[in-house]
Amino acid sequence: MRERWEKRQFYDIMNLLDVFTVVQGGTIMGFMSAYKHLDNLCKDINGKGVTGYIEDMERNNTASFSVSGWQDDYKQLKHYRWVRNQIAHENYADEDNMCRPEDTEWLDNFYNRILNRTDPLAKYRTYRTDHIDRIDRIDHTVSTPRTIPRTNSYNYEKEWKKVEEKPKKRNTSRIIAYVLLAFGIIFLVFTWNHPEISWPWENKVTYTIYGGYVAVMVAFFISANRKR
């Protein structure tokens, strides 16, 4: 950890010297200095520099929905990496025709954002931590009632359903009893007006059927009027 801190201090000193170094007719090499400054800081974090930071953003591209300015920072970093490569490798490219003062300011500002943990990746890590904690709190709140014994509650609900079902059963029995009574009366009136009708079996069987019918009807009347 101390070695990394000393290395960073060395880079800071070298970058300050670069800012005040005048080359090519007095042009200050601010952009390349700021880019190296940022690249070395990123190397301390991911071992690959600005390229590694861009790759981390690409691996977490869905973060653009939760972190404001994600896409803008991503595009700026890729653009400045391209500018740096052009200046470093192409004969025609230099800071005079490739850069503006605002570019150097942006790189310096992004450097400070990383130190202050307000850069896109840091903000996304904070968002994920808060989001996971919020989900855990919700899960805990939802799961808490499951730890409460439900035996008494279950028995109470079961008994209450029995109490509610009893009047329904009595009403059903009463309806059936009245239907049987009405059908019996209709049958008696019909047979009284048509004495010529007779059953094909013995009277003993007929009386047994009548007795069973009356017994069933009486049973339904008793069930309908039974107390709890």
Question: What confidence tens digit (pLDDT) does each residue in 57-87 have?
Answer: 999 988 989 999 999 999 999 999 999 999 9
Residue that terminates a domain, selected from 93, 118, 145: 145
Residues in the chain: 228
Same domain, 160 and 137: no
Q: How confident is the model at residue 150 (pLDDT cuts 50, 70, 90)?
A: very low
Which tokens hold the place of 203?
Answer: 């009277």
Same domain, 219 and 127: no
Same domain, 15 and 83: yes
Q: pTM of the predicted model, to two decimals?
A: 0.50
Residue 193 CB neighbours (<10 A): 8
Distance between CA atoms of 57 and 112, rounded to whole angstroms?
18
Same domain, 26 and 70: yes
Number of domains in the chain: 2
Distance between CA atoms of 15 and 24, rounded to whole angstroms?
18
Same domain, 121 and 87: yes
Same domain, 71 and 122: yes
Residue that terminates a domain, selected from 111, 127, 145: 145
Same domain, 27 and 102: yes
Residue that terminates a domain, selected from 145, 160, 183: 145
Q: Dihedral sign, CA of 216, 220, 225, 228? A: positive
Residue 37 domain boundaries? 2-145
**Per-residue pLDDT for 42 more than 60?**
yes
**Average pLDDT for 149-168:** 51
Alpha helices in the chain (DSSP H): 2-19, 30-46, 50-59, 70-89, 95-98, 101-115, 120-143, 151-193, 203-225
Same domain, 171 and 120: no
Same domain, 184 and 86: no
**Per-residue pLDDT for 8 more than 50?**
yes
- What angle is formed at CA 23 by the lines to CA 101 and CA 31, rounded to 5 degrees? 30
Same domain, 33 and 76: yes
Q: How confident is the model at residue 21 (pLDDT cuts 50, 70, 90)?
A: very low
Task: Give buried/exposed letters for 152-182 (b at 16+ CB in 10 A, else e).
Answer: eeeeeeeeeeeeeeeeeebeebeebbeebee
Same domain, 118 and 167: no
Same domain, 45 and 129: yes
The pLDDT, as a whole number, for residue 6 is 60
Q: Which residue matches tokens 């490219």? A: 93
CA distances from 187 to 163, 192, 197, 213 (A): 37, 9, 12, 12
